[in-house]
């Protein structure tokens, strides 16, 4: 599992390896279950394997009780995994190696912007995410030294080129982003010293052999950044499927705080794991009816080719 150099490009012959990548910050809700179910179906329909990775980069919000709960939840629902759990808290060395390889090439610079600076300087772009205006890229050595003396701790950003990165997503179809215009230099290390999500996920997916990534469409706009990092680090690309979010009334996305859709409440309402899976499959279009069903039984009807067009709305589905 060490980061050896790899040839970039997707390998169509490689066995499919998908992943569950929950953040242990709460119990699973209907949206997490839906995403995990599709990830499992995509991998298993290609005789693939599933890896479980606990994404506990955020030490403050990750709680040990949810690490256990999330595994029990997957197991109870019949969403099995073949390797792991792997934990991000064990992976600092691998992230550091990747970070240093970028740093050695002069591709990262310290960023001293506070949240307030960022908020003031960047207009939200296309309703997606703020574009970093490059403030700290232009600092002189003297200006950097002054900020260091003031005790401002430096996050680190990756310099991005004025280049379009595109992908074909199995659910969303073609998607492209100009790294400079649509995203800007992005964080690879946070001000608190933790490596950033984009870097960690790319290093983890590669080291864990993951080549099939299924996750919520809210992360589609991060994918060009991850593809660009894979290129720089000479890591293979994955195939991506970004599934719609399950939203509450007024398009509010379900969160782990939505008690009504968390697994315990789902069990109270639906009584069995099969009834939960059936309801989620029914409202999302994965199954023709909402009758109770197991992931195994859904697999018999599942077809990867139908994934684009199967969901009533590729962006969001109303929870009911």
23 binds ligand GLU (CB under 6 A): yes
* Distance in Å, CB of 297 to ligand GLU, minimum: 26
Q: Do the Cβ atoms of 180 and 207 come closer than 8 Å?
A: no
Of 101, 105, 86, 78, which Cα lies nearest the Cα of 24?
86
- Is 20 or 99 the residue whose CB approaches ligand GLU more closely? 20
Binding segment (CB under 6 A) for ligand GLU, from list 17-25, 44-52, 94-102, 132-140: 17-25
Q: Do the Cβ atoms of 170 and 15 come closer than 8 Å?
A: no
Of 3, 8, 34, 308, which Cα lies nearest the Cα of 171?
308
24 binds ligand GLU (CB under 6 A): no
φ, ψ for residue 252, nearest 5 deg: -75, 125
297 binds ligand GLU (CB under 6 A): no
Rounded CA separation 156/163 (Å): 21
Q: Which residues contact 141 (CB under 8 A, 6 or more apart)?
A: none
55 binds ligand GLU (CB under 6 A): yes
Element (H, E) at 199: helix 197-207
Q: Which residues contact 2 (CB under 8 A, 6 or more apart)?
A: 94, 207
Burial status of residue 192 (CB atoms within 10 A of its CB: 0-12, 13-18, 19 or more): exposed
- Is 6 labeled as ligand-binding? no
- Is 20 labeled as ligand-binding? yes
- Is 179 or 199 the residue whose CB approaches ligand GLU more closely? 199
Alpha helices in 233-272 (DSSP H): 263-270
Rounded CA separation 306/132 (Å): 37
* Range 194-253, binding ligand GLU (CB under 6 A): 201, 215, 219
Interface residue with ligand GLU, options 18, 22, 110, 244 (CB under 6 A): 22
Interface residue with ligand GLU, options 16, 17, 21, 233 (CB under 6 A): 21
Binding segment (CB under 6 A) for ligand GLU, from list 6-14, 15-23, 102-110, 231-239: 15-23
- Is 65 labeled as ligand-binding? no
- Is 305 labeled as ligand-binding? no
Query: What stretches of 131-221 adopt beta strand conformation (E)?
Result: 155-158, 164-169, 173-178, 186-189, 212-216
- Is 243 or 277 the residue whose CB approaches ligand GLU more closely? 243
- Is 219 or 232 the residue whose CB approaches ligand GLU more closely? 219
Binding segment (CB under 6 A) for ligand GLU, from list 21-29, 94-102, 248-256, 297-305: 21-29
67 binds ligand GLU (CB under 6 A): no
Which positions make up the binding site?
19-23, 55, 111, 113, 132, 136, 197, 215, 256
Which residues of this protein are in contact with ligand GLU, per CB under 6 A? Answer: 21-23, 55, 201, 215, 219
Which positions make up the binding site for ATP?
256
């Amino acid at each position: 599992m060490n980061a050896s150099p790899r040839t970039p490009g997707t390998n169509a012959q490689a066995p499919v390896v998908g992943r569950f990548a929950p953040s242990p910050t709460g119990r699973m809700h209907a949206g997490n279950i839906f995403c995990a179910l599709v990830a499992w179906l995509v991998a298993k329909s290609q005789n693939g394997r599933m890896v479980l990775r606990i994404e506990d980069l955020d030490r403050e919000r990750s709680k040990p009780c949810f690490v256990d709960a999330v595994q029990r939840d997957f197991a109870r629902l019949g969403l099995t995994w073949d390797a792991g759990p792997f934990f991000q808290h064990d992976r600092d060395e691998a992230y550091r190696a990747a970070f240093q390889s970028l740093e050695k090439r002069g591709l990262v610079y310290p960023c001293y912007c506070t949240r307030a600076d960022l908020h003031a300087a960047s207009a939200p772009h296309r309703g997606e995410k703020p574009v970093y205006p490059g403030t700290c890229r232009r600092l002189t050595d003297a200006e950097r030294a002054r900020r260091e003396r003031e005790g401002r701790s430096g996050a680190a950003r990756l310099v991005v080129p004025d280049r379009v990165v595109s992908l074909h997503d199995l659910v969303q179809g073609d998607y492209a982003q100009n790294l400079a215009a649509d995203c800007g230099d992005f964080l690879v290390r946070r001000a608190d010293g933790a490596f950033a999500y984009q870097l960690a996920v790319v290093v983890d997916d590669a080291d864990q052999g993951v080549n099939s990534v299924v996750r919520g469409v809210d992360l589609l706009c991060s994918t060009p950044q991850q593809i660009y990092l894979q290129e720089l680090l000479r890591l293979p690309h994955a195939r991506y499927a970004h599934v719609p979010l399950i939203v509450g009334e007024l398009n509010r996305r379900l969160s782990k705080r939505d008690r009504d859709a968390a697994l315990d409440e789902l069990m109270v309402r639906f009584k069995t794991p099969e009834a939960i899976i059936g309801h989620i499959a029914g409202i999302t279009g994965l199954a023709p009816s909402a009758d109770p069903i197991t992931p195994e039984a859904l697999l018999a009807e599942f077809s990867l080719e139908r994934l684009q067009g199967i969901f009533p709305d590729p962006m969001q589905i109303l929870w009911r």
